[in-house]
């Protein structure tokens, strides 16, 4: 795995403190939001805990600067508003983060199903997320919980049916 390339802002100490001026703060949150998505994609990680204070995403060891849990929550709320995150608990400590929105994942998967002639067939979550046929696709390697949430969008549109089989799922595409 290649080393993550941090943006220049990451080495700028005020970047770790939520700025009081609204326009500056909005730009800061946008940069942080993009950084969250890029960093988590680099690690192939789909879940964060706002109390992971030792994560390089939240703590720059060189600068000895750390994001507060409140600032992390503010960034995650911004990602939620853009469709890139959702809280997994009522206290909003654990979050699921998506590099693409669930709608975008759903569309990518459905396009792939059509292109590979898999309409009216049943696929497993594993086949879609990690199978040989999906290698090279943007959704390859996606967390199965994220994929399942995206597939529920397709199910609500009548484009697939999700069937639970013991501890796994089968998806029939229409």
pLDDT of residue 1: 66
pLDDT of residue 79: 98
pLDDT over 90 (residue 166): no
Is the residue at 35 inside a domain? yes
Write out pLDDT tens, residues 68-122.
999 999 999 999 999 999 999 999 999 999 999 999 999 999 999 999 999 999 9
Domain that holds residue 119: 102-173
| Domain match, 93 and 12 both | yes
Mark which of 97, 115, 130 sits at the end of a domain. 97
| Domain match, 153 and 90 both | no
Mean pLDDT of the chain: 95
| Domain match, 19 and 81 both | yes
pTM for the whole structure: 0.90
51-86 b/e with 16+ CB inside 10 Å = b? eeeebebbebeeeebbbebebbbbbbebbbeeebbb
Mark which of 80, 97, 114 sits at the end of a domain. 97
| Domain match, 93 and 13 both | yes
Is the residue at 142 inside a domain? yes
């Amino acid at each position: 795995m290649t080393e993550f390339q941090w943006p220049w802002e990451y080495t700028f100490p005020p970047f770790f403190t939520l700025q009081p001026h609204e326009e500056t703060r909005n730009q800061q949150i946008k940069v942080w939001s993009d950084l969250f998505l890029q960093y988590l994609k680099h690690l192939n990680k789909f879940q964060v805990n706002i109390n992971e204070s030792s994560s390089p995403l939240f703590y720059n060891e060189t600068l000895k600067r750390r994001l507060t849990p409140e600032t992390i929550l503010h960034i995650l709320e911004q990602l939620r508003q853009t469709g890139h995150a959702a809280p997994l608990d009522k206290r909003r400590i654990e979050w699921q983060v998506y590099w693409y929105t669930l709608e975008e994942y759903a569309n990518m998967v459905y396009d792939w199903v059509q292109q590979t002639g898999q309409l009216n067939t049943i696929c497993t979550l594993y086949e879609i997320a990690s199978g040989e046929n999906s290698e090279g696709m943007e959704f390859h390697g996606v967390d199965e919980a994220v994929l399942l949430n995206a597939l529920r969008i397709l199910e609500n549109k009548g484009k697939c049916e999700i069937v639970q089989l013991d501890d796994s799922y089968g998806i029939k595409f229409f």
